[in-house]
Amino acid sequence: MTTKKITFSSQTVSYYFDSSLDQLGQLTAPDNTFIITDENIYAKHARRFKNWRTIVLKAGEEFKVQATVDAIVEELIEAGADRKTFLVGVGGGVVTDITGYVASIYMRGIQVGFVPTTILAMVDASIGGKNGIDVGIYKNMVGLIRQPSFLLYDYSLLKSLPKEEWINGFAEIIKHACIKDAAMFGLLEQHKLSAFQKDKDLLNQLIQRNALLKSKVVQQDEFEQGDRKLLNFGHTLGHAIENSYELSHGQAVALGMVVAAALSAEYRKFKDVARVVDLIEKYGLPTFAAFDAAKAMQVMQSDKKRVKDVIHYVLLDKPGKGVVVPLSVQQIEPIVTRLSQPSNL
């Protein structure tokens, strides 16, 4: 096990890499704690939840809504949860987002820790303190930024993770490489997915590198006034098409990264669109898909990152160097439209 600590504005987060869910009792007492997980995780790892009071949610983004929050709050009240109660979210990003949100608002805030069970959650979703729920078609429209007390990494939980979920998580790993880490961009070009799935040490190094990369970006800009926005690379368009086309988050971000790379070529003289496209493809992610460009533009303009008619788009100057550029709708639309018809790449 490797322990790291990173101090954010009002909370120090402890990271336990290469640890085990069986160690959770050393971090929080069972009689003071509720685990929140989903029915998929619970069914696959039921044995590991014995001795813990566990709230089991229905699985899936469609349950990341206020009704689920209401149900958890009622269950906590009925069980007598008080201000000293600790919540632990064991699951993917949906579970950690909901758990973090409930912990933020229950009795004006109780402690929370996360045990991410997907690559996506391990390198991205459970890190940085953003939590929230969806409202209608708008993702994370309601939520907060509040850091957990700890993140516990148990790679054995990945054994049950379907391949498409590995791929999903690598979209964010590629994103991190694109915006901040040219060396990792090279490392990803060198290896392939199956190497990380087979070699636990290689995986552990990659997970740590990504978890700490994201944590440090967030640490320097916790409330998203500047550099944290880089983490939205691929997400502006990604979020706009994710819910409408039943794409996975990773697939949506992959398509968004291709569009962002094309915008970078247009407005930042970015020369490596092909390397970005190749890397995305190498890890099993889509690079082009037909979508309704007009509708995507409309949703993008309602996104919470929008400030009036300018969209702060994350572009690349080169692999490993992201930059936030204010673009007008008029600058974005032609390229989104072109790439929404796969034959036009």
Q: Is 140 in the site for a second copy (CB under 8 A)?
A: yes
Per the structure block, which two tokens stand in for 298? 């409309």
Q: Is 228 in the site for a second copy (CB under 8 A)?
A: no
Give the one residue of 8, 49, 63, 138 binding a second copy; rule: CB under 8 A: 138
Q: Is 105 in the site for a second copy (CB under 8 A)?
A: yes
Give the one residue of 107, 193, 289, 324 binding a second copy; rule: CB under 8 A: 107
Catalytic sites, residue numbers = 108, 130, 172, 214, 224, 228, 232, 235, 239, 249
Region 257-296 residues binding a second copy, contact defined as CB under 8 A: none
β-pair partners for 37:
56
3-state SS assignment for residue 69: helix
Nearer to a second copy, 27 or 142 (CB): 142
To a second copy, the closest distance from the beta carbon of 307 in angstroms equals: 5
Q: Is 63 in the site for a second copy (CB under 8 A)?
A: no
Q: Is 141 in the site for a second copy (CB under 8 A)?
A: yes
DSSP letter for each residue of 250-309:
HHHHHHHHHHHHHHHHHHH----HHHHHHHHHHTT--------HHHHHHHHHHSTT-BTT
Per the structure block, which two tokens stand in for 16? 């336990």
Q: Which of 148, 40, 170, 159 is nearest to 92 (CA)?
A: 40
User: Which residue type sits at 238?
Assistant: G
Give the one residue of 47, 198, 269, 308 binding a second copy; rule: CB under 8 A: 308
- Contact 142/150 with Cβ under 8 angstroms? no
To a second copy, the closest distance from the beta carbon of 295 in angstroms equals: 17
Q: Which of 284, 298, 1 is nearest to 138 (CA)?
A: 298
Give the one residue of 2, 9, 194, 220 binding a second copy; rule: CB under 8 A: 9
Q: Is 325 in the site for a second copy (CB under 8 A)?
A: no
Q: How many CA atoms lie within 13 A of 159 on its CB side?
A: 5
User: Which residue type sits at 22?
Assistant: D
Per the structure block, which two tokens stand in for 294? 């007009």
- Using the structure block, give the residue that is written with the tokens 């600590």: 5
| x-marked contacts with a second copy along 179-218 as a string, rule CB under 8 A | ----------------------------------------
Task: Using the rule CB under 8 A, give the single segment among 181-189, 193-201, 213-221, 302-310 that binds a second copy.
Answer: 302-310
Q: How far from each other are the two terminal CA atoms of the chain, in whole angstroms?
A: 46
Nearer to a second copy, 66 or 341 (CB): 66
β-pair partners for 133:
142
Q: What does residue 304 show for φ and ψ, rounded to 5 degrees?
A: -65, -15
| Residues near a second copy, by CB under 8 A | 9-10, 66, 70, 73-74, 77, 80, 82-84, 104-109, 130, 132, 135-136, 138, 140-145, 223, 302, 304-308
